[in-house]
Amino acid sequence: MSAPSHRISRIEAGEIRARLPQNIKRVPVFAPALCRVRLGVKRIWLGEREMSAGPERLVLLPAGIEADIANLPGPDGYLADIVSLPPGLLNDFRLRHGPLLLQQRPGFELCPRLEPRVESAWNALLDSLRANDPPEMSAHHACGVLLALALAGQIEPLLRPAAGGITERVRHLLLLDPAASWSVDMAARRLNQGASTLRRHLAEEGSSFRGILESLRMGLALQQVQNGERAIADIAVSSGYASASRFSARFRQRYGLTPSELRRTL
């Protein structure tokens, strides 16, 4: 498995591997995701909160957060499985199991201890995804993981909706085809708005079209660099940069290291 591409309409699985420590700043989470570290330790900084997870924990990554992450290898390296979930699946789960969700533990624990029932459901989901089962079967197993988390009182952070408003609508639109030659006029037409109206509404939410597009493309670029399969120059072009050097400088400004430096940790 490779890094997930975060298509928001289906469940996707991937692996994150490292031989050397990875310290990456401002990692965006586009779709709700679950992560299980098999080797090594993952550390997460969300604002002033610091969390840590090894094989005995499951990491819950709500959509819309941006966190600093360190992937720290053990003697045999670092290896983690990650599964991205479509928001629609979580919305259906909320509607189906509303009374159960009222019983969740208070707080915002992103790295709960992996209870036996949750671990069993997680393994079944990974087996289904690795076997390329029909999407309906994988969705059934994903709901099994969510139900096990809910019964353990651990699911509340994952079900928190991302910030709404026009910013989220634009982000979802761009996720349909991140590499397209997007412009604010094109996005406005797709959202049945005028370009000036769209700019004004984004500004009211403290964002901008260019900022959303760059954040999205850089987030996907991070996944491709970690995947290790595409040349960095090709990733730069698909991220909207004609110059690999400019892409590298922007990547370092955002994540704290260059694409080549990150590749050397794999």
pLDDT the model gives residue 233: 93
pLDDT the model gives residue 252: 96
If you average pLDDT over residues 8-30, what whole number do you get? 91
Rounded to 10°, the helix 244-255/209-227 angle is 100
Fill in the amino acid letter for 154. Answer: Q
User: Mind listing the pLDDT tens digit for each residue in 208-250?
Assistant: 999 999 999 999 999 999 988 899 999 999 888 888 999 999 9
Tell me the whole-structure pTM to 2 decimals. Answer: 0.85
| % the chain with pLDDT above 90 | 69
The answer to whether residue 171 scores a pLDDT higher than 80 is yes
Q: CA 168, CA 205: separation in Å to the nearest integer? A: 10
What is the pLDDT of the chain when averaged over all its residues?
90
Task: Indicate the DSSP class of residue 105.
Answer: P
Q: CA 87, CA 96: separation in Å to the nearest integer? A: 14
* Among candidate residues 250, 252, 230, 225, the one with its CA nearest the CA of residue 240: 250
User: Mind listing the pLDDT tens digit for each residue in 179-209?
Assistant: 788 999 999 999 999 999 999 999 999 999 9
pLDDT the model gives residue 10: 83
- Contact between 143 and 90 under an 8 Å Cβ cutoff? The reply is no
- Contact between 97 and 147 under an 8 Å Cβ cutoff? The reply is yes
User: Mind listing the pLDDT tens digit for each residue in 87-102?
Assistant: 889 888 988 887 777 6
User: Mind listing the pLDDT tens digit for each residue in 129-170?
Assistant: 999 999 999 999 999 999 999 999 899 888 876 666 899 889
Structural domains in the chain plus CATH codes: 12-159 (2.60.120.810), 165-263 (1.10.10.60)
User: Mind listing the pLDDT tens digit for each residue in 36-76?
Assistant: 999 999 999 998 899 999 999 999 999 888 999 999 999 99
pLDDT the model gives residue 48: 87
* Among candidate residues 152, 157, 159, the one with its CA nearest the CA of residue 117: 152
pLDDT the model gives residue 40: 98
pLDDT the model gives residue 9: 65
pLDDT the model gives residue 163: 61
pLDDT the model gives residue 31: 86
pLDDT the model gives residue 1: 38
pLDDT the model gives residue 104: 66
What six digits make up the tokens of 215?
């954040």
pLDDT the model gives residue 2: 43
pLDDT the model gives residue 8: 56
